[in-house]
Chain A
Amino acid sequence: MTRPATPAARHTRRKGRRGEQPMVPDAEFTSYYDRPILKASPWTADIPAYLFAGGLAGGSALLGAGADLTDRPALRRAGRFGALGAITASMYFLIHDLGRPSRFVNMLRVAKPTSPMSIGTWILSAFGPMAGIAAAGELKWLLPKPLRRLVGVTERPAGLAAAVVAPAVMSYTAALIADTATPSWHEAYRELPFVFVGSACVASGGLGMLASPVDQAGPARRMALAGAALELAAEHQMEQSMGITSEPLHQGKPGMLLRASKALTIGGAAGTLLARRSRIAGMVSGATLLSASACTRFAIFHAGQESARDPKYTVVPQRERLAQRAR
């Protein structure tokens, strides 16, 4: 059947739009009983949570290592605990989402550059233990004496090693979701790694502000500000370059989440200026920034899912591509 690709011609799924204008001119397209061509990923909320926690872990490891080298003990503690806690959460979400969680270790029987999930698992496997040793350094007074000395010697090198791997932890999840046929993920691949890195900095800067005093949180505030600027700029560029597949980012649940993400990012970034003087302001804007990053991940996740469920986002761009080739 042929239906116009206009929101007006659609039923309940479009009722969240409230008179928004379509991003691109309407295009006619044909589908098989309005059914999806692609399968939406079977992933649950675990996966956007995994994206969020991974970003938070990477950025926190960077803050922790930097604070260690520049003698900011409270920020170091926040960074190290943040990195370990978030990477543990990230691994939990990843494993929990598996159809057979007990077979997680099968991820480690190959290393495949064509599979960002395989590469990502190896990145996490390298990062996790390093983040663990660095965090153990904060609790070494609890350890028996020989172990305490071992941790005392290795905590800084381990924290630095985690920081070297951290940028990969912050960015590989963008490659993971972009390397699919899901229209709103794949078409975003040029800017998505920058959006994710920016969002990771927003989250971990936020955590640093939340958990360390004003006089030590300077790098966390700067990380949050720089991350917010990078994320918003990359997001803007991304929405421009995605063509019709940017639509799901602006309507329904993902649209609401992305608007919330932007508002919280801007609000939290503005808060960093007040946070230079007030711990309370630092904590409020830190929490705001953390929730902003979570909203970004959930928005992009759900936009992709919606784009896979609507044959419009499969057929229209492919038809355009064919028409261009014929010209």
Chain B
Amino acid sequence: MGELTGPQPHVAADAGWDPEQPRMGFFTDTSVCIGCKACEVACKEWNGVPDDGFNLLGSSYDNTGALGASTWRHVAFIEQPKRLSGQDAGYRQLRTGPAGSDTANVASGEALSGDRSKLGTETSQLTLEPTGTLPTDGSGSRQDFRWLMESDVCKHCTHAACLDVCPTGSLFRTEFGTVVVQDDICNGCGYCVPACPFGVIDRREGGKAVKNNGLAQKCTLCYDRLGEGMMPACAQACPTESIQFGDIDELRARAAARQEALHAAGNTEARLYLDDPNDGIGGGGAMFLLLDEPEVYGLPPDPVVTTRDLPDIWRRTAMAAATALAGAVAIFIGGRRS
């Protein structure tokens, strides 16, 4: 089997599949996302993903929250008092108040109570109780405004921690190089959940009536559709081609060209995320063009697959085990009969 870290150009062949089948994935170009959430809806519809609770989260137009067991596409909305490169938002000299993300959204972020790591999986226990006070930046007007939108999804990592740590072999690498849960094998141990460096996969909760309750669930990159030569439902539904589906090598080239075009047009903040096979996960099967730092969108700035350190973890564990054995011998031999 393969390496735990570093570039891996033949990820499916490494798992024993036909080397002729190209690796398939997503390139999500957030610069053309209009926040319509067609991807979220198409994903739910096609894959029969149950609801994760109906909540108003007080975070711009995002009432979905996060990826989770029952949210496989999540559109993030960020309102910023910044310019989108050279654009003039038309707010100059107008008393518009500070930008949403700095006021109401801070307040609602504070007002949202419950376990926020359940977002995307089971949000019915979360409650939004406004505190009544809105923080302000004191300026009373904003000069610039931009609205970032990004459709997030499972990254189908080259080195996938969820797959590595799965003790049943339920999570597997498909012939398309994607990572998929086999619902009939998963026993719901939950190990993949804290293993994922992106917080994507989760164990579904919601009672026996809910499909696949108690099992780890995440995006399959529409494995069933791929097998029929179709594109994933989210990419099919995307009206602006913000979500592009295809051969990873081609998507990487397209992403690089798009970044170059945006830079040439003055959008110097455009940056690629998870396009590099030398990054901490060996590159993503889903890559992104972002207009701000990854953490602004709720993405980790430098994700690393935990199993990169596993040889070292096992070494330290063996040392500790040896210490226990030697100590046990010593306490019986060393001590007098007492």
User: A255 interface residue, CB < 8 Å from B?
Assistant: no
Partner-contacting stretch, out of A133-141, A151-159, A182-190, A292-300: A182-190
Q: Do the beta carbons of B313 and A69 come within 8 Å of each other?
A: no
CA distance A174 to B323 in the complex (A): 14
A37 touches which of B205, B215, B300 (Cβ 8 Å): B300
Contact (Cβ within 8 A) A181 B296? no
Give min CB distance, B50 to chain A, whole Å.
Answer: 15
Q: Which of A100, A113, A182, A200 neighbours the largest number of chain B CB atoms within 10 Å of its CB?
A: A100
User: Which of B295, B331, B334: most chain A Cβ within 10 A?
Assistant: B331
Cβ-based interface call for A171 (8 A)? yes
Q: Does A269 have its Cβ within 8 Å of any Cβ on chain B?
A: no
- For B213, list chain A residues within 8 Å (CB): 99
Instruction: Name the CB-closest residue of A to B58.
Output: A33
Over the window 63-93 of chain B, the binary record of Cβ atoms lying under 8 Å from chain A Cβ atoms (1 yes, 0 no) is 0011010000000101000000000000000
B300, B313, B332: the one within 8 Å of A314 (CB): B300
Q: A-facing mask of B308-322, CB < 8 A → 1, else 0?
A: 011011101111111
Assuming A62-B328, A110-B169, is B109 touching A318 (CB within 8 A)?
no
**When the two chains form their complex, are residues B338 and A276 in contact, meaning their CB atoms are under 8 A apart?**
yes
Given contacts A100-B187, A226-B327, contact A318 B202 (CB under 8 A): no
Complex: chain A residue closest to B170, CB-CB: A106
Q: How long is the Cα–Cα vector from A101 to B330 in the complex, in angstroms?
A: 40
Task: Name the residue of chain B whose CB is nearest to the CB of A99.
Answer: B188
Nearest residue in B to A101 (C-beta to C-beta)?
A: B187
Tell yes or no: B12 within 8 A of A by CB: no
Interface size class of chain B, counting residues whose CB lies under 8 Å from the partner chain: 35 or more
Q: In the assembled complex, which residues on chain A have CB atoms less than 8 Å from the CB atom of B78?
A: 32
Q: A100-B215, A114-B4 are in contact. Are A197 and B321 (CB under 8 A)?
A: yes
Q: How many A-B residue pairs have CB under 8 A?
A: 284
B101 → chain A closest CB, angstroms: 6
By DSSP majority rule, is chain A's interface helix, strand, loop, or mixed? helix
Q: Mark A23-66, 1 if CB is under 8 A from B, else 0.
A: 00000011111111111111100000000000000110011001
Whether the Cβ atoms of B187 and A32 lie closer than 8 Å is: no
Determine whether the beta carbon of B334 is less than 8 Å from that of A115. no
Please, how many angstroms separate the alpha-carbon atoms of A59 and B169 in the complex? 31
- A182 to B109, alpha carbons, bound, how many Å? 22
CA distance A33 to B78 in the complex (A): 9
Chain B residues positioned under 8 Å from A177 (CB to CB): 194
Report which residue of A30, A99, A113 has the largest number of chain B beta carbons within 10 angstroms of its beta carbon. A99
Chain B residues within 8 Å of A, Cβ to Cβ? 4, 57, 59, 62, 65-66, 68, 76, 78, 101-102, 105-106, 108-110, 112-113, 115-117, 119, 121, 161, 164-170, 185-191, 193-205, 213-216, 293, 295-303, 306-307, 309-310, 312-314, 316-325, 327-332, 334-338
Q: List 11 A-B contacts (CB under 8 A).
A: A32-B297, A36-B199, A39-B117, A42-B203, A99-B204, A99-B213, A99-B214, A107-B167, A194-B323, A219-B335, A226-B327
